Chain A
């Protein structure tokens, strides 16, 4: 439980790198996977889940106001669904994919909620208070807390799913589909650059 909490908090902090701060790519699934896997005693499975999620998430580009599925949340949820939730890696992988997609509407609401800040900032500066730092801090803190809470909820949901009788019956199907995912990701990676070459820039 404590490990899951610490891992969710770490996912929340690293998730800030996706949009809000730095953007050094520290929120990449390929890093979050082995890191959280190591924290929870499954570094190899974490690396595997992270790498495959990263390959599939390569299809989405965060241009303009688009909110793509969140790879950091997907990797964290997948690793914790396996390590803390007790699901097989193959089912945990698909739980992670779903979690990354489900986080998009949450992220959209966070961004929409911040839309009212513009008028508040104007009023604050007009009143002579020129401090912007606390808005930046609040933005980072709220994003990290919401991300961590979401990952924790996904872990709890995975734990509940693992307790459902007969869930193991799904594993032959999820195992086979999971075994094909790296190839789906590789296909995406190959054709992304092939298309660029044909477009000549």
Chain B
């Protein structure tokens, strides 16, 4: 049962819609458990209809909710008064879904996902590929290195994601029926804090590495005035990004502003005071 639910949990977001969100994926994931719990087809039908209603949580952490719900259904099926036993199910399911969504968003989308990019850039840097930073510069890198960067990040991220999908099912099933099920199984705050610290350390390393490479390459290829102009342009980008963040505008606004200004200066007015490439 767990194996089948686990495999199906990878389709938790299939059919995502604005009316019932992950209802299809959740019912699809839960079906092997429901089939085992309710051999009677009419009861299985009623159970499937219960879980085709609205549900929305973070896709990896949904396993905690699915495991919990499977256990609650099992307890209800064994109970003399099934209706009474199922009364608390929607409330517990909704409470867990919201709580795990908040935790999952912070861990996976807010921290681990950006960390995979950092890992990719660090692997490329270790392999001697800095072409992503200097767009106009010729650089050499083999296909194995170009793929090793993103794939290392993916393996790191997926190891986390797959582990928590599996552990969520097991933990949720073990403590099924309680509104705090699984929420106290790990010190989530500490985990989030540690991931933030690791991410910040990598961000700092990549930023220093990038600035070091910019200064080194500028020193080799241009006069002191040129170095100052290049460093100034980078500083201007950082300031623009900060201003956009402070005023609630997305990074695309900054990108569009830079494109517009560059087109005006270099394409319309043919203004070329220094090398175009940084």
Q: Which residues of A contact B (CB under 8 A)?
A: 19-26, 28, 30-31, 34-35, 38, 43-44, 46-48, 50-52, 54-56, 58-65, 69, 89-90, 94, 97, 101, 111-112, 114-118, 121-122, 125-126, 128, 130, 132-133, 135-136, 139-140, 169-194, 196-197, 200-201
Bound together, the chains give a CA A186 to CA B24 distance in angstroms of: 38
B263–A177 touching, CB < 8 Å: yes
- Which residues of chain B (113-150) have a CB below 8 Å from chain A? 113-114, 116-118, 120-121, 124, 129, 131-136, 139-141, 143, 146-147, 149-150
Bound state CA distance, A118 and B56, in angstroms? 14
Give Cα distance in the complex from A188 to B242, angstroms: 9
Q: Residues of B with Cβ closer than 8 Å to A? A: 10-11, 13-21, 23-25, 27-28, 31, 41, 44-45, 48-49, 52, 56, 59-60, 101, 105-106, 109-111, 113-114, 116-118, 120-121, 124, 129, 131-136, 139-141, 143, 146-147, 149-151, 153-154, 157-158, 161, 189, 192-193, 196-197, 199-200, 202-204, 206-207, 210, 233-234, 237-238, 240-242, 245, 250-252, 254-255, 258-259, 261-268, 270, 272, 276-278
Would A30 and B204 count as touching, CB distance under 8 A?
A: no
| Option from B25, B146, B196 in Cβ contact (under 8 Å) with A197 | B196
Partner of A56, one of B21, B135, B252: B252
Main DSSP-derived SS at the A contact region: helix
Contacts A30-B150, A56-B252, A174-B262 hold; do A20 and B56 have CB atoms under 8 A apart?
no
Residue of B44, B133, B150, B255 with highest tally of chain A CB at under 10 A? B150
Q: Cα distance A135–B24 when bound, in Å?
A: 8
The answer to whether A115 touches B60, judged by C-beta atoms less than 8 angstroms apart, is: no
A-B residue pairs in contact (CB < 8 Å), sample of 16: A19-B16, A25-B153, A28-B154, A34-B146, A34-B147, A44-B146, A51-B121, A52-B135, A62-B109, A118-B20, A121-B52, A169-B267, A174-B263, A179-B278, A184-B241, A196-B196
Closest Cβ–Cβ distance, residue A94 to chain B (whole Å): 6
- Residues of B near A34 (CB, < 8 A) are 143, 146-147, 150
Contact of A179 among B121, B146, B161, B277 (CB under 8 A): B277
Q: What residues of chain A lie closer than 8 Å to B120, measured between beta carbons?
A: 30, 51, 54
Partner of B200, one of A19, A44, A197: A197
Pick from B121, B135, B265: contact of A48, CB below 8 A: B135
Evaluate contact between A112 and B17: CB separation under 8 angstroms. Answer: yes
CA distance A193 to B233 in the complex (A): 23
With A and B bound together, what is the CA distance between A22 and B234 in angstroms? 38
Instruction: Tell me which residues across on chain A come within 8 A of B105, comparing CB atoms.
Output: 61, 63
The interface residues of chain A lying within 8 Å CB-to-CB of B20 are 115, 118
The answer to whether A118 and B237 touch (CB under 8 A), given A23-B13, A174-B259, is no
Which residues of chain A come closer than 8 Å to B101, judged between CB atoms? 63-64
Report Cα–Cα, A196/B23, bound state, in Å. 32
